[in-house]
A and B are shown apart, each in its own frame.
Chain A
């Protein structure tokens, strides 16, 4: 069944979009990430203009992270204070990101920049995660208990000034890296149409040493606001949010997410991380492929602004 998207101005198949949303929702429920890093490239592969894919992806992320954050709030695994500080940084980062987004679009390098960011970030995060989880898998096989957090071990981040106490995360740390992390994620969110969970989660665990059970809820909490802000700014400055497209993706996504969460419970932590790492790497490789292989069309058209 075809449907005409009012903002993207093309006809698409409803079931393809619902299935796309459901598949990504399933994976995001399983791994506890927003799924923006999957949905935006998928939309671009499906010929949705990148600018619209990014803005609409951000809108879609709100739905999945909101529903995820609700369940974490119920379980008490959400640090509102930490989330609030991350958010303050996020707003600054998003604003900068939107500006850069408009600039890149004018000079015609937006698509390249989006692809490069995806390849570099997904490649790095996926690679690191794969190495870590494979090591953890080996360790459990040889009998040692897997440990992520080594108590008493501090890095340079813990020596910065302006310390603040985050009770729910059992954390006493400077606000500078927290604000910086928020700003970085906000920037990426507005340029890539992602919530940034795939960077936020490892950064909170490995850099700030936040307990793993609090990380996902808190990251989802702050992603709701960053992506809501991104959606709003894209809607007002670029008019590139397609609610029809976003709604189809969300509808599939929220259904898939709940089943994914259930499936995820059957797997062990390090197995999940290894699978997620492979998924992230696969997306990175697919996008890198497009950068290096001779494109079928060397010429592209854009409307001048």
Chain B
């Protein structure tokens, strides 16, 4: 099996070498590409989360480094950015009340990560910070930049923690698997409460702990059919939607009496 894979990989590599002879002769710079089987995902009535598979390939990988498994790939599916307010409860006269708050701009609603290995084994924390990569390193832009840094730090940590707790920020270690020297498959988790909108899939390539290249693709997540119609009606024709909700309630009340009447 491993032999077959190596064979397939070497065949592929020689094909690539044939196509890009110049690149193969000079010191080749590695690249990364990803492709999605679909550019939109529909959420239907039965949706309770799903796994999304993303395929990708390395360009011009060094066969020696690939064999030693020193290439690492991190794939991220990042939801649309929205403003978020984080509030902290404090005790006032025995009652827990939201007191302090901190606003952040453009926080990705969801953030699913898939990696080849545990993140701390791939590269240094500083380079994650530089890349703003990973649920724990993602940079959160506070609305009021002049605030107290320790407060901002505290609320940033709370924001990450709440997002992880609700399953919107997730990490799938081992979610990226190499199928051959070039080809890899990433599985990212879509939470049941995944937001609709334009999501961005990004793939990061590391060689021996060094960041090499990034590639991205877009994915539209939307509600389908009935759910989509209801959502759209509620926002675009809100008055008629309200009237419909009232009529529905009255008809249900009336029918319920006819059907289940006991007096």
Contact = CB atoms under 8 A, between A and B. Distances in A.
A60 B248 CA distance: 10
Given A258-B260, A262-B262, 18 more contacts: A4-B47, A59-B246, A62-B249, A108-B85, A112-B98, A231-B246, A243-B234, A243-B241, A243-B245, A244-B227, A246-B249, A247-B248, A251-B252, A254-B253, A258-B262, A300-B162, A301-B159, A303-B83
B155 to A, nearest CB: 8
Contact of A259 (B96, B161, B262): B262
B231 interface: yes
Interface stretch (A202-210, A233-241, A272-280): A233-241
Contacts of B186: none
Contacts of A247: 248, 252
Contact of B89 (A3, A4, A251, A298): A298
A9 to B, nearest CB: 6
A257 interface: yes
Interface in B153-181: 155, 158-159, 161-163, 165
Contacts, number: 194
Interface in A263-283: none
A89 B252 CA distance: 27
Interface string B69-104: 000000000000011111111110011111001010
11 contacts: A67-B256, A243-B241, A243-B245, A246-B249, A250-B248, A250-B253, A251-B252, A292-B94, A300-B89, A300-B162, A301-B86
B67 interface: no
Given A4-B44, A66-B254, A302 B85 contact: yes
B141 interface: no
A3 B45 contact: yes
Interface string A276-300: 0000000000000001101101111
Nearest to B93: A292
A71 interface: yes
Contacts of B90: 298
Say which size band chain A's interface belongs to.
Answer: 35 or more
Nearest 3 Cβ contacts at the A-B interface? A254-B256, A235-B242, A66-B253
A4 B43 CA distance: 8
A224 B249 CA distance: 10
Contacts of A243: 230, 234, 241, 244-245, 248
B188 to A, nearest CB: 18
